[in-house]
């Protein structure tokens, strides 16, 4: 590519990046608003909204509940998703592997509203609507594919003969996976864990159906804050989420970069 | 047989396996026999291994030699337990092991692409089998040190595989496979990914280690030179069957089939029709005397090695033919002369470099050999003998690693090889 061409490429990349990320970061100045009117660039600035976010029990309860559910969902989805990925990558029958793959990835394809209606009616039957358990079940089912996909990608980069080597050296199949495969797919698991957490943490549709007034997660609280009482605290909540996600994405990126450097 | 040798068949990784491994890397204490009895492994309608039987002597170095897809790697994987035979059985010191899972067979294996664990240092790789056997930490440290010494890598123990050259990686893999003193060591084209010089120096090293350990070595290669240099005996594979088993001199000097004759060394095959008295072979316009003791009649082939052919020299007890020299190549110590003989085809002779009896291209020469230097071959026909169809490399799921042995530079790490697949 010519020098000029490269410059235009950078211009295009910058424009696209701004277009993608600017709306998200607009919540940062919004969150410094000191009035009760929403504004992107408030003139009267303070940290009042953060006081409200971390002070009012309605908000703090939703915040801690979201983190708690997200953490449990992450653990469940990582364990189940990694096992599923191992079965898909190392299973014996090709047909069974393909079937399992389709089944596991189905939640990504099925519209969330339909999944929400379905789980709502099912959980009504089981009498668990409004409980954290209901959210954990539902969120885990949609989070699993987000673990399976990166873990499968990691597994494809590993020579399966390594497991045979481990077995010839005295490791059972399970021990070979534990000592050889798992350490090698750790980057995929880390990405999967992050995606699984975010799936649960910012999930709105299922949560709207499955939470009651006493079990609202942060996104549901934000939604009702906007719809019901136009509470500007929502901007502070959004800013916290944006900062948290940015830090997580950057640290994953940095660790992958240093791992890639270390490999050469 | 000796019941003490069967400890590895016991369940559990407790004392049974530990006993064998605490003896240290010592000579001759650990010799067992291995027997393959009528092994068959099919993929669909193709028999990758087709009724293979083989008995090894304790402490022997035996090579499975054959072209790609001939079933030698599949045989190795059956012995290691990565594949289950469709029929037949494998015996170690008289005990069947087909139902023993791979990790309890206590058989060592060295792979073509090293298969070192990339997230572990060389030391940790070598300690891996000892840790699985739950040896005390002090013993592990000592044995790892001994194994590193044996392969000459004492100073590189803390390096990761990616920081080692290909030859060094394969030495670590070798150390890892022998550190727990397995009575049988399987090697699947271990030098296939290395360049020629490295291959030769590692051959010498493998020979030495075999001598020092006294372990039974089963070595797979498609390189006949390597097989001749290393082995006590060679089993030549073709289309899933063993064509011939014998010492290196047996398979070179007295091959039983044309396949073995052409696969090992350079060979001149002369086909013809034997007369009823089994004393003469009619090949085109020529009538040649057959070696004494020839038992076959009818359609026949004889083998004459190039170094047994000499120009001129019509004499009693010698067969001779006339041909036209196609090409004469000076090789330093000898001259390689290829000629075309009417009704027979191309023949190759090695002449001592000094004597150049009118051997220029285009000249007509007489060529002769002692009648008893020829070997009568069985003309076995193999219907549908396509060498490339068999699934030789079932564990790697593709034959690519076997087909591209020289693609890997010595400095690249094993993860790269994996990504290539």
Q: Is the pLDDT of residue B11 over 80?
A: no
Using the Cβ of B294 and the Cβ atoms of chain A, whether some distance falls under 8 Å is answered with: no
Contact A179/B at CB under 8 A: yes
pLDDT at B408: 35
Query: Phi/psi class of residue B243: alpha, beta or left (left: φ > 0; alpha: ψ in -120 to 50)?
Result: alpha
Assigned fold of A54-263: MetI-like fold (1.10.3720)
Contact A46, A38 (CB under 8 A): no
The model's confidence at residue A15, banded by pLDDT at 50, 70 and 90, is: very high
Q: Do B133 and A170 touch (CB under 8 A)?
A: yes
pLDDT of B154 higher than 70: yes
**Bridge partners of residue B270, in order along the sequence:** B302
A52 exposure class (CB count in 10 Å sphere: 0-12, 13-18, 19+): middle
User: Contact B210/B242 with Cβ under 8 angstroms?
Assistant: no
As a whole number, mean pLDDT of residues B404-411 equals 34
> What pLDDT score does B147 carry?
94
> Pick from A166, A168, A184: which is nearest to B108 by CB?
A168
Task: Return the number of other C-beta atoms located less than 10 Å from residue B254's C-beta.
Answer: 16
A258 min Cα distance to partner chain B (Å): 15
In this complex, is the C-beta atom of B328 within 8 Å of any C-beta atom belonging to chain A? no
Using CA atoms, how far apart are residues B176 and A175, in angstroms rounded to an integer?
A: 17
Q: Which residues, in sequence order, are CB contacts of B399 under 8 Å at separation 6+?
A: B68, B69, B391, B392, B393
What residues of A are in contact with residue B397 (Cβ under 8 Å)?
Answer: 160
How many angstroms away from the CA of A220 is the closest CA of chain B?
Answer: 43
Residue of chain A with shortest Cα separation from B109:
A168
Judged by DSSP in three states, B69 sits in coil
Closest-CA distance, B30 to chain A, in angstroms, reads 17
Number of cross-chain residue pairs from A and B with Cβ atoms under 8 Å apart: 85
Nearest CA in chain B to A158: B418
Q: Which residue of A has its CA nearest to B83?
A: A164
**Packing angle of the helix pair A132-156, A112-126 (nearest 10 deg):** 130
Task: For B166-201, write each residue's pLDDT tens digit.
Answer: 999 999 999 999 999 999 999 999 998 888 888 888
Q: How far is CA A242 from CA A222, A256, B381, in A?
A: 14, 21, 74
pLDDT > 70: percent of chain B: 81
Distance CA B5, CA B224 (A): 33
Shortest distance between the Cα of B244 and any Cα of chain A, in A, equals 29
pLDDT tens string B242-300: 999 999 999 999 999 999 999 998 899 999 888 877 788 888 888 888 888 787 778 88
For residue A245, the tally of other CB atoms under 10 A from its CB is 16
Determine, for residues B113 and A159 on separate chains, whether the beta-carbon distance falls below 8 Å: yes
Instruction: Tell me if A263 and B176 make a contact (CB, 8 A cut-off).
Output: no
Whether residue A180 and residue B417 make contact (CB cut-off 8 A), yes or no, is no
Q: Is B118 on the interface with A (CB under 8 A)?
A: yes
Q: Phi and psi at residue A145, in whole multiples of 5°?
A: -60, -30
Q: State how far residue A262 is from chain B, nearest Cα, in angstroms.
A: 10
- Residue A169 with chain B: CB contacts under 8 Å: 103, 108, 128-129, 132, 176-177, 180
Q: Which of A137-151, B138-152, B319-333 has the lowest mean pLDDT?
A: B319-333
* B134 touching chain A per CB within 8 A: no
Round to whole Å and give the CA distance between A39 and A41.
6
Other beta carbons within 10 angstroms of residue B339's beta carbon come to 26
Mutation for B interface: A92, A156, A161, A263, most B CBs within 10 A: A161
Residue B182 Cα, gap to closest chain A Cα (Å): 10
Give the pLDDT of residue B358: 57
The pLDDT assigned to A46 comes to 83
Burial class (CB in 10 A: 0-12, 13-18, 19+), B305: buried
Q: Token digits for A82?
A: 């990694």
Q: How many CB atoms lie within 10 A of CB B155?
A: 8
Nearest to B80 among A168, A170, A184 (CB): A168
Question: Minimal Cα–Cα distance from A127 to chain B, Å?
Answer: 47
Task: Scan for tokens 């364990």, then name that residue.
Answer: A79
**Partner-chain residue, chosen from B177, B395, B418, that has the shortest CB–CB distance to A164:** B395
Which among A164, A170, A264 is the nearest to B132, CB-wise?
A170
Please, which pLDDT band fits residue B407 given cuts at 50, 70 and 90?
A: very low
Task: Note the pLDDT of residue B120.
Answer: 95
| Residue B395 contacts residue B91 (beta carbons within 8 Å) | no
Q: Range with the lowest mean pLDDT among A65-74, A151-160, B355-364?
A: B355-364
Residues 119-158 of A with CB under 8 A from B: 157-158
**Average pLDDT over all residues of chain A:** 87
Give the per-residue pLDDT at B355.
65
A88-97, A180-189, B135-144: which range is least confident on average?
A88-97
Chain segment A195-245, per-residue pLDDT in tens: 999 999 989 899 988 888 778 899 998 888 888 877 888 888 888 888 888
> How much is the pLDDT for B380?
53
The beta strands (E) that lie in B169-262 are given as: 184-188, 216-221, 233-238, 241-247
pLDDT at B403 over 80: no
Residues B111-121 have pLDDT tens digits of: 989 999 999 99
- On the question of pLDDT at A125 being above 80, the answer is yes
Helix or strand (DSSP H, E) at B181: none
Interchain CB contact of A92 with B (< 8 Å): no
pLDDT value at residue B274: 86
The shortest C-alpha distance from A95 to chain B (Å) reads 16
How many angstroms separate the CA of residue B44 from the nearest CA in chain A? 14
**pLDDT tops 70 at residue B357:** no
Q: Which of B155, B154, B227, B245 is nearest to B187 (CA)?
A: B227
- Contacts with B80 from chain A: Cβ below 8 Å: 164, 168
Q: Taking each helix axis from N to C terminus, what angle separates B166-178 and B122-132, rounded to the nearest 10 degrees?
A: 20
B82 contacts in A (CB within 8 Å)?
164, 167-168
Contact B119 A183 (CB under 8 A): yes
The tens digit of pLDDT for each residue in B360-392 reads: 888 888 899 998 899 998 765 444 333 333 333
Q: State the pLDDT confidence band at A51, using cuts at 50, 70 and 90.
A: confident
pLDDT at A2 (0 to 100): 62
- Is A158's CB within 8 Å of B82's CB? no
């Amino acid at each position: 590519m010519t020098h000029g061409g490269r410059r235009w490429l950078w211009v295009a990349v910058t424009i696209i990046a701004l277009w993608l990320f600017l709306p998200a970061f607009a919540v940062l100045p919004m969150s410094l608003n000191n009035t009760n009117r929403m504004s992107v660039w408030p003139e009267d600035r303070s940290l009042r909204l953060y006081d409200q976010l971390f002070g009012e029990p309605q908000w703090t309860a939703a915040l801690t509940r979201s983190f708690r559910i997200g953490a449990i969902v992450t653990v469940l989805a990582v364990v189940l998703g990694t096992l599923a990925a191992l079965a898909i990558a190392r299973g014996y029958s090709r047909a069974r592997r393909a079937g399992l793959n389709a089944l596991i990835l189905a939640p990504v394809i099925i519209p969330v509203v339909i999944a929400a209606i379905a789980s709502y009616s099912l959980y009504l039957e089981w009498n668990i609507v409004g409980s954290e358990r209901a959210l954990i079940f539902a969120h885990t089912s949609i989070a699993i594919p987000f673990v399976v996909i990166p873990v499968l990608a990691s597994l494809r980069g590993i020579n399966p003969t390594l497991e045979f080597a481990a077995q010839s050296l005295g490791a059972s199949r399970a021990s070979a996976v534990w000592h050889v495969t798992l350490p090698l797919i750790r980057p995929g698991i880390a990405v999967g864990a992050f995606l699984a957490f975010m799936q649960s943490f910012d999930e709105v549709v299922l949560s709207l159906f499955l939470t009651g007034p006493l079990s609202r997660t942060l996104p549901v609280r934000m939604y009702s804050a906007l719809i019901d009482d136009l509470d500007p605290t929502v901007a502070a909540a959004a800013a916290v989420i944006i900062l948290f996600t940015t830090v997580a994405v950057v640290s994953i990126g940095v660790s992958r970069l240093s791992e890639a450097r270390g490999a050469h | 047989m000796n019941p003490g040798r069967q400890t590895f068949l016991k369940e559990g990784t407790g004392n049974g396996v530990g006993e064998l491994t605490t003896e240290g890397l010592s000579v001759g204490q650990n010799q067992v026999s291995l027997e393959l009895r009528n092994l068959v492994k099919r993929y669909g309608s193709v028999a990758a291994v087709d009724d293979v039987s083989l008995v090894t002597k304790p402490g022997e170095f035996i090579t499975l030699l054959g072209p790609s897809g001939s079933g030698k790697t599949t045989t190795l994987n059956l012995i290691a337990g990565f594949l289950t035979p469709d029929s037949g059985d494998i015996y170690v010191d008289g005990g069947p092991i087909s139902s023993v899972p791979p990790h309890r067979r206590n058989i060592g294996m060295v792979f073509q692409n090293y298969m070192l664990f990339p997230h572990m240092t060389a030391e940790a790789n070598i300690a891996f089998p000892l840790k699985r056997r739950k040896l005390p930490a002090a013993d592990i440290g000592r044995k790892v040190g001994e194994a590193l010494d044996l392969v000459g890598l004492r100073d590189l123990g803390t390096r990761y595989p990616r920081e080692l050259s290909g030859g060094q990686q394969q030495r670590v893999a070798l150390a890892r496979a022998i550190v727990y003193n397995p009575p049988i060591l399987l090697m699947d084209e271990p030098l296939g990914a290395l360049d020629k010089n490295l291959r030769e120096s590692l051959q010498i090293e493998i020979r030495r280690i075999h001598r020092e350990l006294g372990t039974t070595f089963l070595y797979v290669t498609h390189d006949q030179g390597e097989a001749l240099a290393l082995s006590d005996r060679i089993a030549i594979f073709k289309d899933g069957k063993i064509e011939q088993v014998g010492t290196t001199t047996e398979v070179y000097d007295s091959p039983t089939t044309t396949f073995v004759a052409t696969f090992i060394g350079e060979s001149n095959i002369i086909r013809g029709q034997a007369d009823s008295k089994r004393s003469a072979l009619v090949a085109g316009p020529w009538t040649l005397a057959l070696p004494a003791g020839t038992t076959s009649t009818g359609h026949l082939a004889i083998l004459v090695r190039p170094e047994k052919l000499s120009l001129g020299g019509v004499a009693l007890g010698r067969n001779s033919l006339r041909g036209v020299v196609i090409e004469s190549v000076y090789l330093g110590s000898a001259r390689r002369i290829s000629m075309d003989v009417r009704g027979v085809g191309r023949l190759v002779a090695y002449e001592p470099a000094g004597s150049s009896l009118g051997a220029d291209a285009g000249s007509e020469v007489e060529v002769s050999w002692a009648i008893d230097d020829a070997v009568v071959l069985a003309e076995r026909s193999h219907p549908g003998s396509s060498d490339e169809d068999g699934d030789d490399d079932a564990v790697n799921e593709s034959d690519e690693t076997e087909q591209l042995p020289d693609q890997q530079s010595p400095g690249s790490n094993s993860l790269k090889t994996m990504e290539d697949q």
